[in-house]
């Protein structure tokens, strides 16, 4: 029997605000809303298991800006940096207030394709902006966003420069790492920068903390007709680097020498997975075990594990999402200690039997790209504290009180289902990271706000916003076992 629990969800709304380089006083307004939420407790097949649900309470914060491709990170001071559509937003009080901290003199004019990263070792904050379709600008801060430095990274003139990603990780003892081909590592960690062109995926390694990227090149060929689209970059404590291409069979591209060479591994056949699938993702735990998640052929969220630094992967994947969730999009994952993981995604429990045919006249198969007007998507969060076990248990919360999107989620440019106007509002991805005490933070774009969220019967034409929103664990188990249960944040 499906386990249900009452979940207190606190929604905190902070109004739009100017920031450090304008009005120094951010405006904040908070409101608490209590709602009932469902917790599913399932096994490796998405079916219910008889186990007590974890005590998970989530808080929400309106960042005050649009953020259709949001990313975030948390420094050791506890300050949260949320990269919204055009600004770097900072909160040092768990989302109670937000302020803009991007320096327009050090960072480039912003675009609609930003990406952010916080180095968990050095606390360096990165803001990456795409400039047109030919180059990008990377700026960084080492003092919690108070001051910034930046240099343009010329990614070449061959179109298209898109899907920009950045991450950091430890140096290895071979390849570009210390003691390898390039031993003059200037910065404490390696900085990786990837993007796609029509030819495929290109990745580069920086030796000087992201100021320049002299080493690297193409790592994967043409993945789809859109070029080599890929997920986020992940680096393990042992220095292994992972990049996920957008291909039909779940695949991970791996480097064990700081990006000098790359190899790829597949997770068994998943040939029924419908295009377009956006951004499968990898997370690694404190012992460098790797967890790869993706949206599968039945539109559920699946996982494959590697315990040997990406050399081999399970060929029989594990279903993470409950079978009641029939449609998903934008899965994201992070990990703490071995087996302790958190996943987020947008999902719908609306019955597929009620849906209209897709654009080709076929019955709807749960693909969010072709969902109809009576489908509502919510934010789901899944925890597992034993994800490396033979029979792991997953605790999934439908965290958002109201829909995040009504109608289809456009997963590709050019062929979106048009219901009440353009639905290309949520763009390509969300984000999830943990802080140094193992608390989970999620960045997502909310497509159903204001009157849409308040309505008893919202329609797709009402669901066209792209509000930058943060969700974080208010109280519950840390992903670091030594921390135990985290203190409640109101």
Q: Which residues pair with 88 in a beta bridge?
A: 83
Query: At 70, is the pLDDT very low, low, confident or very high (cuts 50, 70, 90)?
Result: very high
Residue 136 lies in a domain: yes
Residue 154 lies in a domain: yes
Read off the pLDDT of residues 341-372 as tens digits, 9 standing for 90 and up: 999 999 999 765 555 565 566 677 888 888 88
Contact 65, 16 (CB under 8 A): yes
Contact 100, 22 (CB under 8 A): yes
Read off the pLDDT of residues 289-319 as tens digits, 9 standing for 90 and up: 999 999 888 899 999 999 999 999 998 889 9
The pLDDT of residue 137 is above 90: no
CATH number at residue 65: 2.120.10.30
Residue 4 lies in a domain: no
Read off the pLDDT of residues 152-181 as tens digits, 9 standing for 90 and up: 776 554 555 678 899 999 999 888 876 555
Residue 255 lies in a domain: yes
Place of tokens 């249900």: 4
Residue 173 lies in a domain: yes
Contact 126, 183 (CB under 8 A): no
Q: What per-residue confidence (pLDDT) applies to 25?
A: 40
Place of tokens 């497509």: 447
- pTM to 2 decimal places: 0.89
Residue 1 lies in a domain: no
Query: At 242, is the pLDDT very low, low, confident or very high (cuts 50, 70, 90)?
Result: very high
C-alpha torsion angle, residues 93, 98, 104, 109 (rounded to 10): 120
Q: What average pLDDT does the chain have? A: 83
Look up the domain containing 481 and give its range: 9-486
Q: Taking Cα atoms as reference points, which of 32, 192, 42, 178 lies closest to residue 128?
A: 192
Q: What per-residue confidence (pLDDT) applies to 97?
A: 97
Q: Residues of the chain with pLDDT > 90: what percent? A: 56
Read off the pLDDT of residues 390-430 as tens digits, 9 standing for 90 and up: 999 999 999 999 999 998 888 776 556 655 455 788 888 99
| Domains identified in the chain, total number | 1
Residue 445 lies in a domain: yes
Q: What is the mean pLDDT of residues 83-94?
A: 90
Angle at 379 between CA 378 and CA 380, to 5 degrees: 110
- Which strand (E) or helix (H) includes residue 379? strand 376-384
Structure tokens at 47: 């079916």
Place of tokens 């916080």: 118
Residue 224 lies in a domain: yes
Cα separation, 262 vs 264, whole angstroms: 7
Query: At 13, is the pLDDT very low, low, confident or very high (cuts 50, 70, 90)?
Result: very low
Q: 5 in helix, strand or coil?
A: coil
Read off the pLDDT of residues 458-467 as tens digits, 9 standing for 90 and up: 988 899 999 9
């Amino acid at each position: 029997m499906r386990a249900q629990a009452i979940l207190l969800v606190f929604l905190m709304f902070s109004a739009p605000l100017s920031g450090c380089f304008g009005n120094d006083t951010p405006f904040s307004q908070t409101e608490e809303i209590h709602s009932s939420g469902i917790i599913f407790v399932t096994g490796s097949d998405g079916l219910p298991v008889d186990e007590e649900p974890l005590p998970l309470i989530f808080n929400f914060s309106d960042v005050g800006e649009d953020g259709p491709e949001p990313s975030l990170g948390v420094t050791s001071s506890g300050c949260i940096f949320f990269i919204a559509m055009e600004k770097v937003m900072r909160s040092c009080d768990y989302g109670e207030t937000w302020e803009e901290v991007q320096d327009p003199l050090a960072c480039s004019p912003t675009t609609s394709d930003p990406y952010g990263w916080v180095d968990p070792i050095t606390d360096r904050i990165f803001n990456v902006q795409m400039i047109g379709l030919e180059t990008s600008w990377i700026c960084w801060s080492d003092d919690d966003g108070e001051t910034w430095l930046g240099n343009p990274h010329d990614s070449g003139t061959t179109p298209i420069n898109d899907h920009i990603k950045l991450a950091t990780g430890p140096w290895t003892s071979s390849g570009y790492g210390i003691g390898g081909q390039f031993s003059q590592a200037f910065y404490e960690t390696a900085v990786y920068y990837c993007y796609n062109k029509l030819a495929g995926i290109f990745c580069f390694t920086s030796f000087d903390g992201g100021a320049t990227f002299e080493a690297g090149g193409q790592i994967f060929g043409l993945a789809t007709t859109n070029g080599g689209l890929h997920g986020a970059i992940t680096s393990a404590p042992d220095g292994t680097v992972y990049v996920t291409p957008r291909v039909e069979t779940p695949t991970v591209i791996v480097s064990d020498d700081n990006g000098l060479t790359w190899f790829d591994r597949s997770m068994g056949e998943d040939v029924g997975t419908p295009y377009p699938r956006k951004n499968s993702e990898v997370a690694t735990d404190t012992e460098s075990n790797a967890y790869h998640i993706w949206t599968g052929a039945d539109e559920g969220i699946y996982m494959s594990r590697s315990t040997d630094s990406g050399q081999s992967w399970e060929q029989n994947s594990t279903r993470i999402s409950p079978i009641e969730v029939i449609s998903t999009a934008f899965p994201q994952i992070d990990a703490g200690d071995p087996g302790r993981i958190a996943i987020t995604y947008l999902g719908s429990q609306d019955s597929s039997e009620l849906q209209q045919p897709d654009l080709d006249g076929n019955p709807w198969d749960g693909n969010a790209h072709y969902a109809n007007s009576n489908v509502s998507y919510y934010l789901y969060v899944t925890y597992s504290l034993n994800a490396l076990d033979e029979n792991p248990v997953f605790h999934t919360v439908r965290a958002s009180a109201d829909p995040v999107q009504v109608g289809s989620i456009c997963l590709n440019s050019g062929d979106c289902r048009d219901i009440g106007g353009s639905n290309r509002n949520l763009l390509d991805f969300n984000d999830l990271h943990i802080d140094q005490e193992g608390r989970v933070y999620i960045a997502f774009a909310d497509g159903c706000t204001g009157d849409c969220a308040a309505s008893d019967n919202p329609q797709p034409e009402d669901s066209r916003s792209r509000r930058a929103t943060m969700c974080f664990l208010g109280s519950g188990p840390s992903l670091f076992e030594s921390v135990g249960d985290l203190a409640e944040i109101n």
